[in-house]
Structure 1
Amino acid sequence: MIVVSAVLIGVVYVVLNSFIREPHRRKFNAVMIAGAGAAYLSGGGLGGWEFVFTAAVTYCAYRGLESWAFIGIGWLLHTAWDLVHHLRGEPIVPFADHSSLGCAICDPVIAVWCLTGGRSVVSRIPRKPAGDR
């Protein structure tokens, strides 16, 4: 169940972001990965490595202001950090033991979308011509 719900969260994230027009969509996602990069700072349990990770993702977020690829790389880094936390650290949501695992399943869905250019998926839905309504 955790796999299905985590993948669905990633898909919902992509669909909702598809309603944001470019270039705002890319900038919004750069801000989102910057925030995700700092998610474990308040108690991730890995000491100074939390700051090193946050700095790496902050760099990706900054470069992501101009490049979808860096946003995707940031999400993949976050996936790896989620796995480290699931195995050795504290969960991203303190009261949900498997939240880091769920995040590690969700994040690659977002990363793949970003690495393919963060295009709108709702604009690809065919619409009826105005006369057919």
Structure 2
Amino acid sequence: MNLVSPVIVGIVYCLLMSLIEEPHRRRFNAIMVGGAGAAYLSGGGFGPWELPFVALMAYVAYRGLDSWTFIGVGWLLHTAWDVAHHLKGNPILPFDHDASLACAVCDPAIALWCFRGGPSLITLARRGFRTGRTTDRAHDHASAAS
């Protein structure tokens, strides 16, 4: 399995979420992590043990309505559930044996973004681009003055 593609999917997810303004971005992501908790309900392979995980993720998602940290924790819990399903359960996509493993690689990238407060990656990129241009201009002026 290619491990780069799931990381790219996580980054694209964060980029797309960056299009949503705060506080809606946090709330939307709380809903997403809650939904991720139910991803294996229709045949994950752990039978009734799927239900306590859904309940845990619902609680974490509820707390995530006001906390990026809880959303990040939710994605890491889902990562652990993905690994368990890859090793002993059924994959998240029944037609793709490694789908749960790919999800387990993608989710921590999203969790890291959440632990940083779910910042707009678009805004960060624009600031970095502007800073880089300003620095280059300052360097050019300093070089010209020498």
TM-score band w.r.t. shorter chain: over 0.9
Give distance in 2, aligned partners of 1:34 and 1:125: 29
Give distance in 2, aligned partners of 1:124 and 1:113: 12
Query: Partner of 1:27 in structure 2?
Result: 27
The TM-score normalised by the length of structure 2 is 0.85
Query: Partner of 1:91 in structure 2?
Result: 91
User: Considering only aligned residues, what root-mean-square deviation do their CA atoms show, in Å?
Assistant: 1.1
Superposed structure 1 runs of 4+ greater than 4 Å apart: none
* 3-state SS of 1:20 partner: coil
C-alpha displacement of 1:75: 0.2
Higher share of residues assigned helix? 2
Query: Partner of 1:74 in structure 2?
Result: 74
Query: Partner of 2:64 in structure 1?
Result: 64
* 3-state SS of 1:72 partner: helix
Larger Rg: 2
C-alpha displacement of 1:116: 1.1
Give distance in 1, aligned partners of 2:83 and 2:10: 17
Give distance in 2, aligned partners of 1:95 and 1:105: 18
Deviations 1:33-60 (A, max 9, x none): 0110000000001011100111111101
Query: Partner of 2:140 in structure 1?
Result: none
Give distance in 2, aligned partners of 1:83 and 1:124: 32
Give distance in 1, aligned partners of 2:71 and 2:125: 25
Query: 5+ residue gaps in structure 2?
Result: 131-146
C-alpha displacement of 1:2: 2.3
* 3-state SS of 2:121 partner: coil
State the one-letter code of the partner of 2:111: A
State the one-letter code of the partner of 2:48: G
Q: Given the alignment of the two structures, is residue 117 of structure 1 paired with residue 117 of structure 2, yes or no? A: yes
Query: 5+ residue gaps in structure 1?
Result: 129-133
Give distance in 1, aligned partners of 2:80 and 2:35: 16
Query: Partner of 2:15 in structure 1?
Result: 15
Give distance in 2, aligned partners of 1:42 and 1:22: 33
Give distance in 2, aligned partners of 1:12 and 1:125: 14
Query: Partner of 1:131 in structure 2?
Result: none
* 3-state SS of 2:40 partner: coil
C-alpha displacement of 1:91: 0.1
